[in-house]
Structure 1
């Protein structure tokens, strides 16, 4: 039984690892080495184009690498990595691709890391994904209790090969699957052709996740603000394709999550989808939602989660609409937009007035349940490195904290409880 001031078991639901790109060669099938050399040869041109478009800030990049040279090796060096995790107080992590989010210097072969998308050549895409997955399994095996490796899954490739890669990745020790957020000219995710994939994911107990990164950049020209405004929308889009087409109803064991896209967009979306299903005027004139046997919020609570990286204060204020258990915090290590190397300070500034029990859920317990971490194995580590509630500025007397959130908690999903919508800034910290 936990004592009120026991250290937190922190599991980051969004971290990144990847080899310097040229070092993937031993993990790539030799049949693709020639294409891999061509891909490497185009790297300088890709970096130059990113700089021209303003995606890469040369001054920032230089300082970032100079200031964090040692820690950034944790992107692929297992010993350095656990040192950085310990410093942040993070006991476990969910590991996505692309350790370098500045120069793309750790991109998986053929650009199938965070840029995984339906516009890639299916054969090369699968080869590149398998190369990363093989390396990642080796990497995670060095400290298996601390890492849940996310296998890259080019789901728009030939279905038999996709299903085979799910089982191969599971057998290798990986624990989750990242699919493209965009299918481009391939079949969209409501297509029944993907049902064997969802079934295999459910059977193996591997959550399926999308991650921000891919977007139709060719449409934006030099206007980076357009990309920034939309980049979190694309990984969220598969959610409503899967939900309204009955995927979650047909595959109740499937878990689906959205990473590094925040969760600020979810309350209004959930409110809108629930209203449509429950008989709002706009939904009545449309065809029946025959694929669904329950309202959208029930699928959210049963099967969905949000890896809400760098969860913001505004998002925490909406947690009773989203569902506390549906929010999984992430540090985004080692990306510059994340909390590393100042995670402890960031947690104090963000969670100081959040109830301890809810904080434990969002910082680690929910992620442990979704991604299958062994909390008993991590407990001694958490006692050694985890910050305590006091370290986060949370008072020992929790009664005033609980009371300050009482009205928001009772209101919850106001469209279901019939309560008045709380006004942020009056009854909510």
Structure 2
């Protein structure tokens, strides 16, 4: 009797145009300076020496992050992947050009069988929270220039690479205007600081933010919460590890705990009242996996029944999630079918996190093959393609 071969990843995705919903741009050093007016060229984000080390700075020499000018890519120039922490010391010339160049990024996508990608920033933070202490005019110009660059990238890639728009989140009126401007430029969603209360502003549950939610609904712009999207949640290492752990173990623990930071954000969104006021609004939990979602929804429902009496809600936490929220997976493959179905087949999307640590590279679908095989073709098509296509209005 002939042995039946297991389907390969290529077999499982045949006929599906893959949309990768979380990748990153290693920003070229001239992204801002090449587009800034003359009076701001020496103030917008740029790489210069800071304490003798190449570093991203803003304004009058303010450091933007503690990792110098690292492109945060683990893909070496020769295309091989590093699995150590040496990437912290690399410069942009040390990494694969696909981290920062449209032409080479498209080549990587074609080799991996990926039709389109969503792109998130590095330098200004995953929620645009960095550079807070710079002059406001510089911050606004930096955000607008970044969004201009994302619109350029969309055109250069022939509608295959979609950058999410940063917002001047500290100013609701300006944020509304930037949502509208980004929409006109062809961008498909926004990024926001998940914890503006850290900066002396109202938290996102307060009605202060209603004009922004209204603008996102009116312009069909999903709001993306990438892990590490605030000052209090952005440290990869964090404080969750025990002091005796070696450096790489600290990184592994801290990076894992970052995912659960988005569970906190989603819990607050679900119970904030926003989803009752704006029933068609869309939120995305980015780079946080999906395994924790069924547990979160179940525990919220239980705790509401047991302990919370100050608010009433029109739907259950699970119903809100299925109507308004999406999760993204990449490394998870155990019990994938059960987890996807618990979350809702219409609420799950695929990502690779290219070219960051733990990204799926060079064969992103090979890692997921055993999990994908548990799903029907229709389910695979939704989570790998059509859910993202509908959410971000990406043509297939």
CA contact (8 A) 2:30 2:46 kept: no
- Quote the offset at 1:352 in angstroms: 2.8
Is the CA contact 2:127–2:194 (under 8 Å) kept in the aligned structure 1? no
Match of 1:193 in 2: 208
Q: How does 1:9-24 map to 2 (within 5 A)?
A: 9-24=17-32
2:327 is aligned with 1:312: no
Higher normalized helix content (fraction of residues): 1
1:351 CA displacement: 1.8
- Aligned residue for 1:412? none
Q: Is the 8 A contact 2:164 2:190 kept in 1?
A: yes
Q: Is the 8 A contact 2:25 2:121 kept in 1?
A: yes
- Residue 114 of structure 2 corresponds to residue 95 of structure 1: no
The answer to whether the 8 A contact 2:131-2:139 is kept is no
User: CA 1:351/1:164 → structure 2, altered by over 3 Å: closer, same or farther?
Assistant: same
Q: Give, in angstroms, the shift of residue 181 of structure 1.
A: 2.6
- The match for 1:296 among 306, 317, 336 is 317
> Unpaired segments of 5 or more residues in structure 1?
51-55, 99-106, 376-429
Structure 1-normalised TM-score?
A: 0.72
Relative to 1, partners in 2 of residues 1:176 and 1:38: Cα closer, same or farther, differing over 3 Å? closer
Q: Which residue of 1 aligns with 2:161?
A: 147
Secondary structure, counterpart of 1:85 in structure 2: helix
- For residue 117 of structure 1, give the secondary structure of its aligned residue in structure 2: coil
Q: Please state whether the residue corresponding to 2:284 is helix, strand or coil.
A: strand
CA distance in 2, matches of 1:320, 1:302: 15
Matches within 5 A, 1:178-217: 178-183=191-196, 184-185=198-199, 186-214=201-229, 215=233, 217=235
Q: TM-score, normalised to structure 2's length?
A: 0.77
Task: Judge conservation of contact 1:261–1:309 (CA < 8 Å) in 2.
Answer: no
Distance 1:315 1:191, change over 3 A: farther
Match of 1:275 among 291, 302, 305: 302
Match for residue 185 of structure 2 among 156, 172, 186: 172
Give ranges in structure 2 of 5+ residues lacking alignment.
Answer: 1-11, 56-65, 71-82
How much does 1:196 deviate? 0.4
Instruction: Indicate the residue corresponding to 1:366 in structure 2.
Output: 387
The verdict on how the C-alpha distance between 1:32 and 1:226 changes in structure 2, with shifts beyond 3 A counting, is: farther
Mapping 1:98-109, distance limit 5 Å: 98=122, 107=123
The residue number in structure 2 matching 1:82 is 106
Provide the rounded CA distance (Å) in 1 between the counterparts of 2:89 and 2:17: 34
**For 1:44, which of 54, 61, 66 is the aligned residue?**
54
RMSD between aligned residues? 3.2
In structure 2, the partner of 1:331 is 352
Q: Residues 5-39 of structure 1: CA distance to partner in whole angstroms, max 9, x if unpaired? A: 85222111112224323432123354443333787
**Correspondences of 1:372-411 after superposition (within 5 Å):** 372-375=393-396
Change (3 A) 1:333 1:167: same
Q: Distance in 1 between matches of 2:321 and 2:279?
A: 11
Bigger drift between 223-232 and 136-145 goes to 223-232
Does the aligned pair in 1 maintain the 2:336–2:371 contact within 8 Å? no
CA distance in 1, matches of 2:33, 2:46: 13
Contact 1:261 1:308 in 2 (8 A): yes
Q: Is the 1:117–1:181 Cα contact (8 Å) retained in structure 2?
A: no
* Count of aligned residue pairs for this structure pair: 346
